[in-house]
Structure 1
């Protein structure tokens, strides 16, 4: 076996990780834009899977997914959070959350949903996010909002909790 064969075997044996990216938009009152998927329960941020086959980066995926899902082609701002999500029935997921900024009311009027995947969208007060989001996603968005509030660097999370050790 050649060195390149050894390397190919080594790479093939490495664990696989899925990756996704989302964008956190707020309105002038601080409410968070959530979308309602039609393929699972609960709400989410605009975003989705990173398409690694064509070399897409997390930032590019956040922009593409936002444009596809809500019709707004906006470059994401700074990285707010990275979350390592353990999986039992699937590989782990690395989830990136980018700042979409504060949008003026007229930008929200431009939203056009991707009907193949989304049922609706809404602006949700921070205090009410838990009622819409699965626990882990709620913690992730809460950490991202905390980064915005504090001006700190991006949050490193594990299953939505601050990474330790």
Structure 2
């Protein structure tokens, strides 16, 4: 296969997006959510993996968290991976990492990226559904379950756990 043939082959492959987010909690177990200015539902701090730069999902979670809320810390273990089908976009593989428990001083130091976010808040697990899309709500619930159980990473499709 020539270089030109290979380039044509690669250009014809399907495209899949990747995103990464970090799940932070406070000492009471509430989840830190951010309010984007470009959609109705809330989200975890995170965003698109910049694969053109060779960025990994873990690196993207750290970068996006630093950009969006001013916390620059390495993410913990991978809690969930979700294959999310899109209607107006290609499918996306979403990674959710453990951000750990934030101390009061860290919460007080949060500074939101005003270009993309309106605010942030801590939300009890029982109240998450009122802030999130159904799919993201299922993804976060699976990540919290993986965290609580100490078991492996939750594998999801559209926020639904894949049977083993």
TM-score bracket relative to the smaller structure: over 0.9
> Any stretches of 5+ residues in structure 1 without a counterpart?
none
> Any stretches of 5+ residues in structure 2 without a counterpart?
none
2: CA distance, partners of 1:88 / 1:31: 31
2:133 matches 1:134: yes
Q: Say what the alpha-carbon RMSD is for the aligned residues.
A: 1.0
What is the match of residue 71 of structure 1? 70
2: CA distance, partners of 1:155 / 1:7: 35
Q: CA deviation at 1:4?
A: 2.3
2: CA distance, partners of 1:72 / 1:54: 22
1: CA distance, partners of 2:92 / 2:163: 18
TM-score normalised per structure 1 = 0.97
Q: Report matched runs for 1:15-34 at 5 Å.
A: 15-34=14-33
The total of aligned residue pairs comes to: 164
SS at match of 1:16: coil
What is the match of residue 37 of structure 2? 38
Q: CA deviation at 1:77?
A: 0.3
Structure 1 outlier segments of 4+, above 3 Å: none
Q: CA deviation at 1:6?
A: 2.3
Q: Report matched runs for 1:1-165 at 5 Å.
A: 2-164=1-163
1: CA distance, partners of 2:12 / 2:118: 39
SS at match of 1:138: helix
